[in-house]
């Protein structure tokens, strides 16, 4: 099983690295997947992350899920039709789709939220609700294959639920 962690400029450091390292620690193949604009992306603080592979060079069937971090990166990620298609295909197969903080923006653009229960950073709550999702203000929300959290402080429970989902599916 391979899990993609999406990367783009202005990502939130903890929301990229914490899940990436936690899944690797659990023995899960985890890669940084980017839109292919360049090979290295910088966090809001300038911390680099190297794209392992571009979304243009992968088949979504080879992945067991995707993690969408926050920061301002999702505003750039949602502009990539390939990223949106990748997320939509992962979701349509019932594979893991996990988003934290502003990562919900990608879910909005992928049109995978209608009728789902989710949480997100408070600043994008209206976007989530306008996408026909039910917003729930709690640290983590699990709705079948969709796992969402609000902010970096929620990362321990976010990753716990991601690992629980992946264990159930294997």
User: Cβ distance 52 to 40 under 8 Å?
Assistant: no
Sheet strand arrangement including 96-100: 53-54, 29-34, 2-6, 65-68, 96-100, 146-149, 140-143
What are the catalytic residues? 101-102
Distance CA(130)–CA(55), nearest Å, equals 28
């Amino acid at each position: 099983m391979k899990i993609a962690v999406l990367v783009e400029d202005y990502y939130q450091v903890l929301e990229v690295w914490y899940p990436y390292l936690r899944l690797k620690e659990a023995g899960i193949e985890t890669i940084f997947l980017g839109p292919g604009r360049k090979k290295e992306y910088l966090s809001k603080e300038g911390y680099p992350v190297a794209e392992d592979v571009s979304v243009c060079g992968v088949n979504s069937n080879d992945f067991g899920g995707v993690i969408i971090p926050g920061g301002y990166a999702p505003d750039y990620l949602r502009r990539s039709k390939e990223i949106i298609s990748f997320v939509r295909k992962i979701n349509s197969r019932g594979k893991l789709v996990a988003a934290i903080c502003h990562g919900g923006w990608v879910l909005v653009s992928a049109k995978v939220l209608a009728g789902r229960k989710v949480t997100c950073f408070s600043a994008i709550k209206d976007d989530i609700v306008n996408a026909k999702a039910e917003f729930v203000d709690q640290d983590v929300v699990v709705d079948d294959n969709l796992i969402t959290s609000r902010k970096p402080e929620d990362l321990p429970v976010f990753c716990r639920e991601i690992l629980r989902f992946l264990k159930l599916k294997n």
